Amino acid sequence: MTVNIDIDGGIAIVTIANPPVNAINAAVRERLLTLAQAFDKDPAIRAVILTGAGALFVAGADITEFDRPVEPPFLPDVVARIERAAKPWVAAIRGAALGGGLELALGCRMRIATGTARFALPEVNLGIIPGSGGTQRLPRVIGIAEAIRVVAENHTLDAAEAVRLGLVDAMVEEPLLPGAIAFVRVALDKALPVPSLDRPLSEPAQEIWTEAEQRIASHAKGASAPLQALEVLKCGIEQGAAAGLARERATFLSLRGSEEAAALRHLFFAERAAMRPADIRGTAPRPVDTAGVVGGGTMGSGIAAALLNAGLSVVLVEQDAAGASRARETLASLFEASQRRGQITGEEVAERLGRLETNIGYGGVERCDVVIEAVFEELAVKRAVFSELGRFCRPDAILATNTSYIDPRLIAEGLPEPERFLGLHFFSPAHVMKLLEIVPTPETAPDVLATVFEIARRLGKIPVRAGICDGFIGNRILRRFRTEAEALVRDGVGIAAIDAAMRGFGFAMGPFEMQDMAGLDIAFLHREAARKRGEPVPDMPGDLLVRAGRKGQKTGGGWYDYAPGDRRPQPSAKAERILAPLMGPRTDMAGEVIVARLMATMAQEGQAILAEGIAASAADIDLVEVHGYGFPRRRGGPMFQLGRADANRV
């Protein structure tokens, strides 16, 4: 049964029990509606308490239903029925009341909560807006300014904030139900609050809308739901609740069927599946308290910051005193920057730095449960590190390389206990970027794998398992993507036109702007090394630029020119002259054709990666692109795009 009922002295207790998160599906809606009707007719029932089983109230509508047509009874009707019930419903909330869960609670006459309660309408994250009256009831309960933050800007209210704003009528201690029953008995002797939808709301100053619109647009990254949520809020204030509800429903239904919402749902489920790969479910991770990081450069410091942020102790190994103090300074300035942004306090900065030990040489690594190597990307250098780690670390310590290209099996050659070794490919800046490619070798033990997935969870990363090949998943697709972008240049398509098309699609930067920012020289050196090994790597446009000294922003020019101190790319006649021998006659290509060609290339490489077993699923490839390479979230990823393109062709 997804909804349970108990009766306590004339009070019905309705518990939504639909594990794991009490999501509202058709069966729950049906049952709630039937119960509201039945209780109204039952003279023995005086009031109803609505609660959720387990640690949370209700996480919202069941998202798995959203790929199918809507099925009655509809949640807005259920909420309205509860709101108009003759017997008052009171929501008793612990933990999360999200989306449709909060909307159900808003339909109740009163809400009581424990200190663990939190309230949000995260629908915009799924490319939709609240669809069961949340846009109309919430502003009438907490006021328009706060409602804008919750409905359109994904702000979560904690229990204290909810009490202050009048969303929660009273706080109760655990155990929740006895407290709720006692509260309801007292409340029934007094006048009940007005239903949420009937509460008066005065029109706010016009600036509130214009300011909110600017704020939301600047954060939306092209997503349409947040601004539409604002429009619906505004409609309900200016034209009244009935018009607002009608507008809300129409907008919800149209967004629910949109490609953007499908893309965001795809990522929602992919992100959750990525945390728990089927083959290591049930394998216990090893305990991890102390982590070692070898190398305190940009990557090593970023990894150390991520570990310290997650509460681990860190031993950072550097070669000399200058390196060690530079690493400590880098970490101190990273944490101080977080403090300036108001994310952590001064005490937290000190506490994090207190968990950091910077050492010259390998002293201290014997205490580490895991050690991550982040030194120069050269096989001999990395092998030397692991030979030292093999000597100094405990035999059960997990050893990981942060290589982006080198075959981890070569790095591990000769390492004692190779089953504790694997690749952990972080992305720069490692304390910010969510992606973590996990690259086991054939020897890696299952509990080692389970442990690094657990570390990823603690670090707030999205872990994606990758097989061994040149560039793993992400850099392999990146190389194909760049090669195809350069092929477009050879076909005579303008550099700026290609970048503009990709920005229009939703990337923060086009491929050439991105290369200029990151520097063209690393990929060039990579190609040169392959040429030296005798591999047939043709001359690329990027090679001509690097040979002419144009390595990107750091040299004042690459694909574009840059004025001193200015990062804005300016079209470069000089670059065009250098590239002329490789460029075809200038041609105009529509933005969508450029995008389609680059998408097809990424997806093609993705399919090869899947066929070779380098990625476990198409969704994993999408996660790599979205969390490591700036692929626009609202587009779902290259494999999602391929699925859509195929579906449209049928």
Site stretch for ligand 3H9 (CB under 6 A), options 121-129, 146-154, 215-223, 237-245: 121-129
Quick check: 107 binds ligand 3H9 (CB under 6 A)? no
- Residues 6 or more apart whose CB falls under 8 angstroms from that of 604 comprise 480
Smallest gap from residue 502 Cβ to ligand 3H9 (A): 29
Quick check: 60 binds ligand 3H9 (CB under 6 A)? yes
* Residue 443 annotated among the catalytic residues of the structure: no
Given 123, 248, 499, 605, the residue binding ligand 3H9 (CB under 6 A): 123
With respect to ligand 3H9, which residue has the nearer C-beta, 326 or 457? 457
With respect to ligand 3H9, which residue has the nearer C-beta, 156 or 483? 156
From first CA to last CA, the distance across the chain in angstroms is 40
- Contact track, ligand 3H9, 546-575, x by CB under 6 A: ------------------------------
Count other C-beta atoms under 10 Å from residue 591's C-beta.
15
C-alpha to C-alpha distances, 282 to 214, 285, 449, 451, nearest whole angstrom: 48, 9, 12, 12
Smallest gap from residue 625 Cβ to ligand 3H9 (A): 21
Smallest gap from residue 30 Cβ to ligand 3H9 (A): 14
Given 98, 104, 424, 488, the residue binding ligand 3H9 (CB under 6 A): 98
Q: d(Cα 426, Cα 307) in Å, to the nearest integer?
A: 12
Quick check: 130 binds ligand 3H9 (CB under 6 A)? yes
Residue 122: cis peptide before it, omega within 30 degrees of 0: no
Given 28, 35, 59, 261, the residue binding ligand 3H9 (CB under 6 A): 59
Strands 313-318 and 290-294: parallel
Site stretch for ligand 3H9 (CB under 6 A), options 93-101, 407-415, 526-534, 601-609: 93-101
Given 2, 51, 114, 132, the residue binding ligand 3H9 (CB under 6 A): 132
Smallest gap from residue 96 Cβ to ligand 3H9 (A): 5
Count other C-beta atoms under 10 Å from residue 222's C-beta.
14
The one catalytic residue among 36, 96, 123, 552: 123
Site residues for ligand 3H9, 402-421, by CB under 6 A, read none
DSSP state of 205: P
Residue 73: cis peptide before it, omega within 30 degrees of 0: yes
* Residue 630 annotated among the catalytic residues of the structure: no
Q: d(Cα 331, Cα 308) in Å, to the nearest integer?
A: 10
With respect to ligand 3H9, which residue has the nearer C-beta, 279 or 566? 279
With respect to ligand 3H9, which residue has the nearer C-beta, 266 or 352? 266
The three-class DSSP label of residue 5 is: strand
Smallest gap from residue 458 Cβ to ligand 3H9 (A): 13
Pick from 378, 388, 405: nearest CA to 317: 388
Give the tokens for residue 28.
Answer: 């729950």
With respect to ligand 3H9, which residue has the nearer C-beta, 272 or 533? 272
With respect to ligand 3H9, which residue has the nearer C-beta, 167 or 314? 167
- Residues 6 or more apart whose CB falls under 8 angstroms from that of 118 comprise 95, 96, 97, 156, 157, 158, 159
Quick check: 21 binds ligand 3H9 (CB under 6 A)? yes
The three-point CA angle 14-15-21 to 5° equals 150
Contacts by 616-620, CB closer than 8 A, 24 or more apart: 616/277, 616/465, 617/270, 617/273, 618/642, 618/643, 619/266, 619/269, 619/270, 619/273, 619/274, 620/270, 620/274, 620/464, 620/465, 620/473
Site stretch for ligand 3H9 (CB under 6 A), options 130-138, 152-160, 226-234, 384-392: 130-138
The three-point CA angle 184-187-193 to 5° equals 115
Pick from 240, 177, 157: nearest CA to 13: 177
- Contact track, ligand 3H9, 232-271, x by CB under 6 A: -------------------------------------x--
* Residue 123 annotated among the catalytic residues of the structure: yes
Given 48, 61, 356, 594, the residue binding ligand 3H9 (CB under 6 A): 61
Q: Which amino acid is at 76?
A: P
Quick check: 100 binds ligand 3H9 (CB under 6 A)? yes
The one catalytic residue among 83, 103, 146, 625: 103
By CB atoms closer than 10 A (0-12, 13-18, 19+), residue 432 is: exposed
With respect to ligand 3H9, which residue has the nearer C-beta, 56 or 371? 56
Using CA atoms of 245, 251, 257, 260 in order, give the dihedral in degrees to the nearest 10: -130
Quick check: 33 binds ligand 3H9 (CB under 6 A)? no
Site stretch for ligand 3H9 (CB under 6 A), options 19-27, 330-338, 443-451, 464-472: 19-27
Smallest gap from residue 72 Cβ to ligand 3H9 (A): 11
Site residues for ligand 3H9, 273-302, by CB under 6 A, read 273
The three-class DSSP label of residue 540 is: coil
Given 14, 62, 295, 515, the residue binding ligand 3H9 (CB under 6 A): 62
* Residue 103 annotated among the catalytic residues of the structure: yes
Q: Which amino acid is at 530?
A: A
Quick check: 23 binds ligand 3H9 (CB under 6 A)? yes
Quick check: 99 binds ligand 3H9 (CB under 6 A)? yes
Site residues for ligand 3H9, 576-635, by CB under 6 A, read none
The one catalytic residue among 95, 99, 100, 542: 100
Which secondary-structure segment (H or E) carries 220?
Answer: none
Smallest gap from residue 151 Cβ to ligand 3H9 (A): 10
Site stretch for ligand 3H9 (CB under 6 A), options 53-61, 347-355, 394-402, 625-633: 53-61
Beta bridge partners, 570, equal: 561
Q: Are 163 and 171 in contact (CB under 8 A)?
A: yes
Quick check: 80 binds ligand 3H9 (CB under 6 A)? no
With respect to ligand 3H9, which residue has the nearer C-beta, 16 or 23? 23
Given 52, 107, 131, 244, the residue binding ligand 3H9 (CB under 6 A): 131
327-354 exposure pattern, b = at least 16 Cβ within 10 A, e = fewer = bbebbeebbeebeeeeebeeeebeebee
Residues acting as catalytic residues: 61, 100, 103, 123
Residues that bind ligand 3H9 (CB under 6 A): 20-21, 23, 59-64, 75, 96, 98-100, 103, 122-123, 126, 130-132, 134, 269, 272-273
